[in-house]
Structure 1
Amino acid sequence: MNRRLLLALAALALLVLTSGCLGFGTGDVSKERVNAEPPDGGYTWDANTTVRIEIQANTQYTAVYELNQTEIELYRRDGLGGRNPLSVEAVQYRYPNGTQLDGSEIRERGGEIRQTRDVTIIALPSDAPENGGGKLAFTGSGSAKRFSLPTYVDGSYEILLPPDRSIDVPIIGQARPPGYDYSRVNGQILLRWSEMSADTVSVQFYLERDLYIFGGVFVLFGLIGLGGLLYYRRQIEELKDQREEMGLDVDTDDEFDEGPPPGMR
């Protein structure tokens, strides 16, 4: 009986640990992370859109949000319909007058940067405008050839792809939702939505040099297929010649054709 009780308690403890009920991974985001330097040394604060996202070549991305609220919840959706906290670093806030704060300074002025089991919460400094107007920026990580993030705020969006990336070829390149403007800025593709109409924005892109690799692979498989077809036809021709030499493939002359049986003419 005692053994069964111990096993039950162990199973319960394992369930609690795996479900996150003890709060592991929650609390304030570390000072080292919130004060880290953003990629390329800074954020694009002067964009003419509500949200500006720049995808880096090293799978990181930077995001700048113009807020009309004093708090934002950041998360990613999992495959079961739940939410997981978004991992952020290099958090900065810029007042409408241009004054800029790093993560520690945000906290010193009454703000928060903390993580729960479901979301990452960033609360602006207590002296931030209540009706918004300031901008919040952070850095996150994604995958090498795909970016996807919920649309936390309404408004206009723009996403800048890394150099030498493209979405021009369907299937291996696409952006959602549709209805975006496509342009190139200094050789990089810029996608712009004048008004975001979806809960999630995503871009699947590829290295432009990958097209040569894909093209080479298709040509190679085509040559292999053509070679196989020619070999197959050659084998058939050789087999036909052998049958003719053995007298197994002799046509019947018309003079031996007596026509259909009587009564069928």
Structure 2
Amino acid sequence: MVRSSAPLRRLGAELRRLREATGRTQADVGEAIGRSHTTLVNWERGKNKLSKSDLVCLLAELRVPADVRKGLELLRAEAGTGTSPWAVYGLPDWLRPLISFEEDATSVTTFQPVIIPGLLQTEDYARASHATAPQLAAPDNIERWVAARMRRQQRPRNDPHFRLHAVISEAALHLYVGGVAVMAEQLRQLVKATETDNITIRVLPSSRGDHAGVANNFTVLHFANPSADPPLGYFDGPLGGHMVSDAGDVAAMVTMFDDLRAAALAESESASLLAAILEEYQ
């Protein structure tokens, strides 16, 4: 059984609530059960699964009633066991939470000011984007990371209930990643994606000038049950990526995306612009 991130998040939220009810800190509780502060943080954020013995020790330390313990033990079991299928790709630690949560998301909104969003990249474009920074992506890792990116694209391609909403800066469409042939193939794929019911692409034209996302890329993941699994944010840079769980920060990302989408071209106009830029590459 593949580990599911949604149950892990619910378990983490409950563990955080129970700890906070005691007035104790993560560092204090972690020291009491022989675990680091970072370990407690990751448990409460749903990043890492607890072993059964760790959960027993933690609940005992927090003096959680027996009936509540049983429910939490079932929730831990629901998260599944076994090795993640993503382990073979040798992904960096900072990327794994995004992929885990992405598997449970029902919709994803993303803005990219410089490059094509990963869920819409062609294989050659993805390979070229990694190869431009060899100091950050060792050659031995590139092919595995590209394969992982192609696997992530199975959700928008094969699950009609999954929604992908992307706003892409026009500048990203003119940046020669991998050369003319690679960009022509990439534009063809974007044009094809605009014909897919569960994918929307809007282009933010350069003529719009300055905008809220001019120096930012970000993604927001939405889940089927927002009350139990509120949206999560994500952004990355040259040295890694970061999940954002703070409700206020995620809400700001949602507002920013709405503003960028409103400033972008309509879907039909975006499709026409993509086709026109494709003609330039051809």
The interval holding the TM-score normalised by the smaller chain is: under 0.3
Given the two structures, how large is their TM-score scaled by the length of structure 1?
Answer: 0.24
The structure carrying a bigger strand percent of its residues is 1
Whose radius of gyration is greater, 1 or 2?
1
